[in-house]
Amino acid sequence: MSSAAVDAAVLYAHVLTSTGHPEAGLAWAMWARPRHGRGPDDPVAVRTLGVLAASLHATGRLRAAAAHYRELAVVLAGLDGPDAPRTLAARADLAVMLHASGDCDTAHAELAAIVQAQQAGMGHVTDFAMVKLLTRQARMYRDCADARAAECFLEAVALARAVGLAEQVRAVAARAPCDRHRRICTHRRPRPAGRPPAPSQHPTSTDEAGSGWQVNAHIAADGCPLRHRPDSGGRVASRTTPPADHCGGR
């Protein structure tokens, strides 16, 4: 298999995923992954891993996406350093996947560590990227009914004024929490001393949240899973289908 064909497949997977055809994009990314024939730190291999993780994310395969974002973060840490922008970005995407899968406290801790690293200047982040990161953190806290959401939104708005994004951040802050996340949320919020814990309302591993209900869902801009909606024709056109031998990975 020529490297040009693999490179083209990765690019095509990226385009398909970013233009609303994530299932087709995932098929091409899975076809390309075992065929690049290069080491894990090769630029094409890194790009393939990133596109595959994004395609899994877009099709709602959250745990698989988290595994690939974790692998990507490890690879990028070796290439760029643990606090480099690309590494921190992969870790932030991993945190989003963990949160959407219901592993809330791990996601909170991961994203808080990234914010701390960025604020310390380790990632050389721009104000625009920092606003995006703080807003993402605030949304996580809000969906988990954590009071820290307000502080994060205020911090994001204050920084957003410098880059002309204050209104956009306020609009995000005004949205209601994601109702679907409440069904899988595992965040343990502090409770007043002396008050007994309330009965758990979270689903167990035998509920639909623990048995793969996220599969074939899209993730909206606010991280809330949405059921997969097919194209108007009910399928992706045949020209988006990779060679038949990709099916072993599906």
pLDDT tens profile 33-63:
888 767 778 888 899 999 999 999 999 999 9
CA distance 243 to 247: 9
CB-based contacts of 152-158 (< 8 A; 24+ apart in sequence): 156/131
The model scores a pTM over 0.75: no
Does residue 236 have a pLDDT over 60?
A: no
Task: Give the confidence band of 216 by pLDDT, cuts at 50, 70, 90.
Answer: very low
% of the chain beyond a pLDDT of 70: 73
For 226, the enclosing helix (H) or strand (E) is strand 225-227
Q: What are the pLDDT digits (tens) for 5-41? A: 888 999 999 999 999 999 999 999 999 988 876 777 8
Are 10 and 48 a contacting pair, CB within 8 Å? yes
Mean pLDDT of the chain: 77
pLDDT above 50: residue 235 = no
Q: What is the pLDDT of residues 77-114, one digit of tens each?
A: 999 999 888 999 999 999 999 999 999 999 999 999 99
- Mean pLDDT over 170-177 rounds to 91
CA dihedral 40, 41, 44, 47 (to 10 degrees): 90
8 Å CB contact between 66 and 101: yes
- The pLDDT, as a whole number, for residue 122 is 61
Residue 175 or residue 234, greater confidence: 175
Please state which of the ranges 18-22, 184-188, 189-193 shows the lowest mean pLDDT. Answer: 189-193
Q: What is the pLDDT of residue 75?
A: 95
Phi, psi of 217 (to 5 degrees): -115, 155
More confident residue, 88 or 182: 88
pLDDT at 204 over 70: no
124 or 201: which carries more pLDDT confidence? Answer: 124
With tokens 């008050």, the residue in question is 195
